[in-house]
Amino acid sequence: MAPMMRLVLGLGVLVLILSAVALGLPAYVTATRSVVINAPEYVVFPYVNNVRRYQEWAPWSDKDPNIKLTYSGPPEGNGAKAEWVSDVPAVGNGSIQIMESKPSSSVTLAADAKGSKGPATSIWRRRARDPR
């Protein structure tokens, strides 16, 4: 077999293998983080359920104290939305919206940073603390 034919055949096999591997990969990525907040749920929930309060605890406030925020929809719960514009590259521009709010249980958010490949979904869930 000619060397050129071997090269073409080898590249073809490599493309087939890489395609098969790519088809087996998940379409979505899931990351999980946990944090313990030593406060009752009724104190914490209003901070997560109200996008107008995010500036009090979200890291973007520390990275860019001059961030410009605009709000739309209700101040809290389903449909509450915040959009930000920042000159600091680490903060950038984007929006976050509460998609579903279940009082005392969970808040589902859609965050969309400009230049990203689409929105990211975050779910804040309340769990009973492990007594250990």
Tens-digit pLDDT profile for residues 64-100: 889 999 999 999 999 999 999 999 988 889 999 999 9
Range 17-34 average pLDDT: 80
pLDDT reading at 129 higher than 70: no
- Strand spans (E) along 38-102: 68-72, 81-85, 94-102
* pLDDT given for residue 131 in this prediction: 58
% the chain with pLDDT above 70: 95
With CA atoms as reference, report the closest residue to 99 among 63, 73, 67: 73
Alpha-carbon span 53 to 76, nearest angstrom: 9
- Across the chain, mean pLDDT equals 86
Alpha-carbon distance of 9 to 13, in angstroms, equals 6
Mean pLDDT of 44-61: 87
Is the model's pLDDT at 132 over the cut of 60?
A: no
In eight-state DSSP terms, residue 128 is P
